[in-house]
Structure 1
């Protein structure tokens, strides 16, 4: 399941690793901290959530137990807000 930004969403990365998502349909902005931005970046490149989870566990082994829940929570929020599509 490939994830992509919805056609009406623009992402801007900040200098500190965060992201700002703009929903051009309604002018709403969404800010992702550096962790959320990293997860989104991986979701947009990966072929599935398992690949994202594995990559994050390699990068952040001390947080390995929290990673699956964090990835799923962010993805659910992005989908609910119609910022991404699969």
Structure 2
């Protein structure tokens, strides 16, 4: 289960991660490189668990920490109403 942004949410890669823009409200969120990588994996169809596994390997972090961080990111995106239901 991946992640799909709702209509009106634009993503742009930056030199330091990515930016998400809610075109309706004008609000934006800056993502650090790790969060940007997680969003790319999730938007590419990876599950939370698969994304966490890849991030743990790529950034040399504990798998449980990576999983917790990805879950927290997804919850924040949902709370901000950036993702489709």
**TM-score over 0.5 (shorter chain):** yes
C-alpha RMSD over aligned residues: 1.5
Structure 2: stretches of 5+ with no match in the other structure? none
Q: Check whether the contact 1:9–1:23 (CA below 8 A) recurs between aligned residues.
A: yes
Give the deviation of 1:45 after TM superposition: 1.0
**2:15 aligned counterpart, secondary structure:** coil
TM (norm. structure 2) is: 0.86
TM (norm. structure 1) is: 0.85
Mapping of 1:56-67 within 5 angstroms? Answer: 56-67=55-66
Equivalent position of 2:21 in the other structure: 22
Structure 1: stretches of 5+ with no match in the other structure? none
